[in-house]
């Protein structure tokens, strides 16, 4: 067994023991998605250390595995859902989400789809290549643009079952709340400084919005019209 495979198995067991990874489909996603294919070249041996890693000189990072696990668990993902991610980074989180809503082995007719948007041109190409090479290119669409405005930008239609922002916003962008479907969930870090609040938004069937603060977290700032 290779070192990377041993490290991966050890990490997954640790995340399960810690209670971060709980549901069978999220555990399976972690087993299937090769994080070493999404880290910046030269960091492959560190892929399964539970820490964020830099993405070249872009100023962005690939989130620590425990945070990636926490997000997919809190999103309550199911096959067939349409998910919008703001902040593609290397594409790793999008691949995990895709494995939950369009699992490998499930009939394609029942697949969901991930739309993920990134403002940094270098990362758009990096993520797109990573997703294609790992077999997720047909389950994830990578878009270059300002995700804080939603996609399509400022369109006031309920499009997405789930929305996740992987960068810290000053507040939840209004266009994203409008694009969240009823009975939908939105996750976003909110706040300034090194630590922010991870906020969970639930839009009820009558359109009412309910907000919960889940925990403290550390993300890079959201860029764009509704970012910093």
Q: What is the DSSP string of 1-43?
A: --HHHHHHHHHHHHHHHTTS--SHHHHHHHHHS-GGGTSPTT-
Averaged pLDDT, groups of 10, the chain, 228 residues long: 93 98 98 98 97 95 97 98 98 98 97 98 98 98 98 97 97 98 98 94 98 96 95
Q: How far is the C-alpha of 31 from the C-alpha of 103, rounded, in Å?
A: 12
Q: How far is the C-alpha of 217 from the C-alpha of 50, rounded, in Å?
A: 14
Chain centre to alpha carbon of residue 23: 17
CATH match for 3-217 among 3.20.20.150, 3.30.365.10, 3.40.50.150, 3.40.50.1820: 3.40.50.150
Structure confidence at residue 1 (pLDDT): 72
The single residue listed with the structure tokens 């549901």 is: 23
- Give pTM, 2 decimals: 0.97
* Catalytic residue list: 63
Domain boundaries, the chain: 3-217
Reading the block at residue 179, the tokens are 């694009």
Nearest to 117 by CA among 222, 214, 42, 31: 222
Nearest to 62 by CA among 3, 21, 134, 123: 123
């Amino acid at each position: 067994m290779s070192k990377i495979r041993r490290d991966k198995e050890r990490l997954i067991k640790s995340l399960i023991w810690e209670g971060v990874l709980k549901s069978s489909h999220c555990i399976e996603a972690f087993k299937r998605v090769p994080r070493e294919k999404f880290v910046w070249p030269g960091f492959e041996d560190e892929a399964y250390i539970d820490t964020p890693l830099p993405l070249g000189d872009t100023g962005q990072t690939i989130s620590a595995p425990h945070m990636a696990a926490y997000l997919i668990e809190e999103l309550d993902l199911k096959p067939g859902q349409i998910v919008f991610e703001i902040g593609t980074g290397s594409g790793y989180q999008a691949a995990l989400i895709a494995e939950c809503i369009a699992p490998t082995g499930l009939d394609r007719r029942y697949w969901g789809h991930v739309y993920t948007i990134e403002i940094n041109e270098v990362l758009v190409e990096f993520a797109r290549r990573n997703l294609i090479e790992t077999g997720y290119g047909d389950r994830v669409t990578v878009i270059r643009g300002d995700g804080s405005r939603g996609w399509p930008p400022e369109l006031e239609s309920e499009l997405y079952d789930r929305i996740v922002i992987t960068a810290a916003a000053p507040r939840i962008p209004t266009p994203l709340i409008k694009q969240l479907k009823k009975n939908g969930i939105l996750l976003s870090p909110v706040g300034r400084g090194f630590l922010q609040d991870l906020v969970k938004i639930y839009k009820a069937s009558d359109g009412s919005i309910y907000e919960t603060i889940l925990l403290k977290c550390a993300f890079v700032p959201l860029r764009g019209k509704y970012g910093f």
